[in-house]
Structure 1
Amino acid sequence: MAVLVTGGAGYIGSHMVWSLLDEGEDVVVLDRLSTGFRWALAPEAKFYEGDIADRGLLARIFEAHAVDAIIHFAGSVVVPDSVSDPLTYYNNNTVKSHALIAAAVEAGVPHMVFSSTAAVYGTPQQAAPVAEDAALKPESPYGASKLMTEIMLRDTAAAHPLTYTTLRYFNVAGADPRGRAGQSTAGATHLIKVACETALGRRSKLQIYGTDYPTPDGTCIRDYIHVSDLADAHLKALQRLRAGGSSLTANCGYGRGFSVLDVVDCVARLSGRDLPVETVARRPGDATFVVADASIARHELGWQPVHDDLDFIVRSALDWEEHLGKRNDR
């Protein structure tokens, strides 16, 4: 059997490909390389450059490979961009996912693991870890586009022989501890990535979007999960589905949060450099406090994260940034 990884040349997808190969899986990647990189792919993976909405290409992939599962990462992920350009987000994240799901049903692919987001919750009503049964109130087109795809997948699975796992990510960060993959997208908006670039002089300053939130230091609080632990959650989800597990939705986070200023202080300490910081107005779509209750992932998937440490996450991200700098200097 083969696993099709959409968006497999991107940040999280490239880590997933390595994890699957480490487990001896046959991996096929479909990526249009809009934000991913061909060089980021493990050489053992079979690669197709193209769009997930290309039904002809999908049919050829399913015909050429015994795909029994799709791990679906492809999509657009920047919250402020979704506010300014909602139609692109609904097209990339919802309409194109519709095409992928339809092609999977037509080809008889039995399993799918879907990359969703904690943005489906919006701002939780209380400053406490949010569980999967919390109210779904996305505050951005990004969150809404992902929620629409969750609903599509749920309803499709009710009508066809397809089982799925939806994983709602909290804030993904860090890089492969073995140095094989990391966040490489130019202009990325992930806080730890931006802070590391600033520490290494690749950005002139770090902007903090609002210091007037109702939190201890006035900045937003997030649950940061190491990308390798997230890839492992997908692997556990795949194994569970193949073993006959029913469809499931699960949060992926550590259950504790750090503020923006906590992250800035950590990056400064580990890099040994002060970060030039500029405070600006709040950003549209940013929630105040988002931390995961990941009990379902731990109990149902048997997921046991091993990198639940902000220093480890930041150190791996800094190491990757230094690697990128050397690579770009060649």
Structure 2
Amino acid sequence: MTWLITGGAGYIGSHVVKSMTEAGEPVVVVDDLSSGDPRRLPPQVPLERGSVLDRAFLDRVLREHAVEGIVHLAAKKAVGESVEKPLLYYRENVTGLQILLDAAVSAGVGSFLFSSSASVYGTPPTELVTEDTPLAPLSPYGETKTAGEWMVRATGRAYGLATACLRYFNVAGTAEPALADTGVFNLIPMVFERLDAGLPPLIFGDDYPTPDGTCVRDYIHVADVAEAHLAVARRLASGAGDLVYNVGRGEGVSVREMIHLIGEITGHGIPPQITDRRPGDPPKVVATADRLMTDLPWKPHHDVPSMITSAWQARKTTQG
């Protein structure tokens, strides 16, 4: 079956394309290239440039490529920006999803895998977050992912669409330099950018209720995230549906600890600078991915140092 991957020229999307094509799954990519790069895609993968807000465009792509399954990754994802521009995030992430789902149902698409986020949990009341932990997002970004999950699951139940929602935790690293994260929204590239400029890395608040006062997150290698997509997509194609999975490692690392590790690996040991908290940042979010590892032949293979090392090597390669 042919899979449509929206946002497939992006950081995570290109890794999903790599994983699925190497496993023999035919894919076509839709991307508006607002943050994606077509050079990330294998030459044999068709790229359709356009927006999920464009229904006529989607209808044509689904028809011409005989799409049977969709992996939806295209979305705005910066928490701070979502606080400043909530209408943009609701339009891109919720309205865009509604238009895509409507097109999928009309085209008779059978499977739909939705890229969600750990941000749906907000500040969880437990040490480890399971898929049954109550959803309480703290930012418009998290709200759009929560609403997206509701819409996807309701659509699946109403129209017989096999659906899955994958709640990523903090994605990092790269499988190869050409697919590296070139944005500065995630912690590791943000720290790299500061270090390369000879500036101290920034810590956004050190007064959180955590052991060292900085936010604690669960980091997962992007290659492991991509393999989870492949496993879940194949599960959907086999007839399963209404699935919800955390994608994480179950290991919390604080921002201060991450910056220290980055300094050791890169050789740039500049002490961090403390600045104000960012709106929408919960103190601690750490996953348990037991459900995914029990249901499917998947487990994470990369540790945090390998995430940092792969990202740093990619940065040196691409920037000379």
Asked if TM exceeds 0.5, the reply is yes
Task: State the match for 2:306 in structure 1.
Answer: 312
Task: State the match for 2:155 in structure 1.
Answer: 156
Task: Tell me how far 1:203 sits from its aligned partner.
Answer: 6.7
Q: Secondary structure at the match of 1:223?
A: strand
Deviations 1:105-148 (A, max 9, x none): 0000000111000111100113x110111111101000001111
Contact 1:71-1:114 within 8 A present in 2 as well: yes
Within 1, Cα distance between the matches of 2:31 and 2:143?
Answer: 23
Task: State the match for 2:61 in structure 1.
Answer: 61
Counterpart code for 1:299: T
Within 2, Cα distance between the matches of 1:123 and 1:312?
Answer: 28
Task: State the match for 2:107 in structure 1.
Answer: 107
Moved more, 275-284 or 247-256: 275-284
Contact 2:199-2:270 within 8 A present in 1 as well: no
Within 1, Cα distance between the matches of 2:198 and 2:242?
Answer: 43
Within 2, Cα distance between the matches of 1:172 and 1:16?
Answer: 13
Contact 1:205-1:275 within 8 A present in 2 as well: yes
Task: Tell me how far 1:293 sits from its aligned partner.
Answer: 1.1
Task: State the match for 2:39 in structure 1.
Answer: 39
Within 2, Cα distance between the matches of 1:53 and 1:296?
Answer: 33
Counterpart check, 1:195 vs 2:191: yes
Task: Tell me how far 1:24 sits from its aligned partner.
Answer: 1.5
Report matched runs for 1:96-175 at 5 Å: 96-126=96-126, 128-175=127-174
Task: State the match for 1:11 in structure 2.
Answer: 11
Contact 1:15-1:182 within 8 A present in 2 as well: no
Identity %: 43
Distance 1:237 1:212, change over 3 A: same
Contact 1:14-1:42 within 8 A present in 2 as well: no
Deviations 1:236-266 (A, max 9, x none): 0011111111220010000011000111111
Task: Tell me how far 1:16 sits from its aligned partner.
Answer: 0.7
Within 1, Cα distance between the matches of 2:270 and 2:24?
Answer: 42
Task: Tell me how far 1:210 sits from its aligned partner.
Answer: 0.4
Within 1, Cα distance between the matches of 2:277 and 2:270?
Answer: 20
Within 1, Cα distance between the matches of 2:227 and 2:80?
Answer: 29
In structure 1, the gaps of 5 or more residues are none
Contact 2:12-2:222 within 8 A present in 1 as well: yes
Task: Tell me how far 1:67 sits from its aligned partner.
Answer: 1.2
Q: Secondary structure at the match of 1:234?
A: helix
Counterpart check, 1:88 vs 2:88: yes
Moved more, 201-210 or 46-55: 201-210
Report matched runs for 1:215-230 at 5 Å: 215-230=210-225
Moved more, 241-250 or 227-236: 241-250
Contact 1:184-1:324 within 8 A present in 2 as well: no
Within 1, Cα distance between the matches of 2:69 and 2:273?
Answer: 45
Contact 1:12-1:227 within 8 A present in 2 as well: yes
Within 1, Cα distance between the matches of 2:198 and 2:16?
Answer: 28
Counterpart code for 2:156: A
Distance 1:108 1:322, change over 3 A: same
Moved more, 201-210 or 145-154: 201-210
Task: Tell me how far 1:320 sits from its aligned partner.
Answer: 1.3
Task: Tell me how far 1:198 sits from its aligned partner.
Answer: 2.9
Using structure 2 for the length normalisation, give the TM-score. 0.97
Counterpart code for 2:313: D
Task: Tell me how far 1:202 sits from its aligned partner.
Answer: 4.4
In structure 2, the gaps of 5 or more residues are none
Task: State the match for 1:259 in structure 2.
Answer: 254
Q: Secondary structure at the match of 1:224?
A: strand
Deviations 1:129-180 (A, max 9, x none): 101111111010000011111101111111102011100010000011x434
Within 2, Cα distance between the matches of 1:277 and 1:266?
Answer: 12
Q: Secondary structure at the match of 1:249?
A: strand
Using structure 1 for the length normalisation, give the TM-score. 0.94
Within 2, Cα distance between the matches of 1:93 and 1:246?
Answer: 22
Within 1, Cα distance between the matches of 2:278 and 2:239?
Answer: 43
Distance 1:105 1:203, change over 3 A: farther
RMSD, aligned CA = 1.2
Task: State the match for 2:292 in structure 1.
Answer: 297
Q: Secondary structure at the match of 2:282?
A: coil
Q: Secondary structure at the match of 1:71?
A: strand
Counterpart check, 1:246 vs 2:252: no
Contact 1:197-1:321 within 8 A present in 2 as well: no
